[in-house]
Structure 1
Amino acid sequence: MTGQELAQEAREPNGERSPIKWLVAASLFEAVTLALLVCVAVPLKHAAGFEIATKIMGPVHGLAFLIYLWTVFNTVSDGSWKASAIARLVLSAFVPFAGFLTPRFIRHQRGALGRR
């Protein structure tokens, strides 16, 4: 499948990206920034005295975290999601590397909700 076909598949009939696809993308962005912060920036700060790493990566991850939470609440606002699923989505942002498993959970939930 070409990149153009993948992009078309990710779009709703009206041409917009579906909230589920945005949630998957935001989840991965948040997970990557948290992993970089914990595994790269913090060790650089403490082992090499390179404090600028956390001063840059901290706010980047903070923004990614806020974007992810906004996307979660935007996606689940239709009322069709169970409270336990919403809690799992939010809590996964607090556990390093859990965000990498979240897209699979989201896709599973998408199927359970009957969405594409």
Structure 2
Amino acid sequence: MSGSFLRYRILAYTTGVLLVLLCFVAIPLKYLADHPGPVAVIGTAHGFLFMVYLVTALDLGVRLRWPWLKLGLVMLAGTVPFASFVAERRAAQDVRARTRPA
């Protein structure tokens, strides 16, 4: 499970950073400075990595037997700025609680 969790953490942070850059840097540059280049690059990267994020979140959720609602919320966290960081932190707490020695 540690490999699955590590993949999820990396993609949660990467997807979150790209979404924040897209929303707060690239989109304002496109509409305020008429410079659409960053939206094309960052938006494409975020879109591709979001699909990979969904697969890794699903893999982790199935391995941990998360309820469907929790899994859905974790998967949707990549669409709201800063939400993937919160979801990753809560997932980390859950994984640590489950793997803690008895």
TM-score under structure 2 normalisation? 0.86
Change (3 A) 1:48 1:59: same
Q: CA RMSD in A?
A: 2.0
Relative to structure 2, which stretch is displaced further, 94-103 or 106-115?
106-115
TM-score under structure 1 normalisation? 0.77
Change (3 A) 1:82 1:41: same
Relative to structure 2, which stretch is displaced further, 49-58 or 104-113?
104-113
- Tell me which residue corresponds to 1:48: 33
- Tell me which residue corresponds to 1:86: 71
CA contact (8 A) 1:26 1:68 kept: yes
What are the within-5 Å matches in structure 2 for residues 48-67 of structure 1? 48-67=33-52
2:37 and 2:77 mapped to 1: Cα distance?
Answer: 27
- Tell me which residue corresponds to 2:59: 74
Identity value in percent: 27
- Tell me which residue corresponds to 1:35: 20
How far did 1:30 drift? Answer: 0.5
2:25 and 2:64 mapped to 1: Cα distance?
Answer: 38
The AA in structure 1 aligned to 2:73 is: R
2:42 and 2:7 mapped to 1: Cα distance?
Answer: 22
The AA in structure 2 aligned to 1:33 is: L
The AA in structure 1 aligned to 2:91 is: I
Of 10, 13, 35, the match for 1:25: 10
Q: How many residues align?
A: 101
Change (3 A) 1:73 1:28: same
Gapped regions of structure 2 (runs ≥ 5):
none
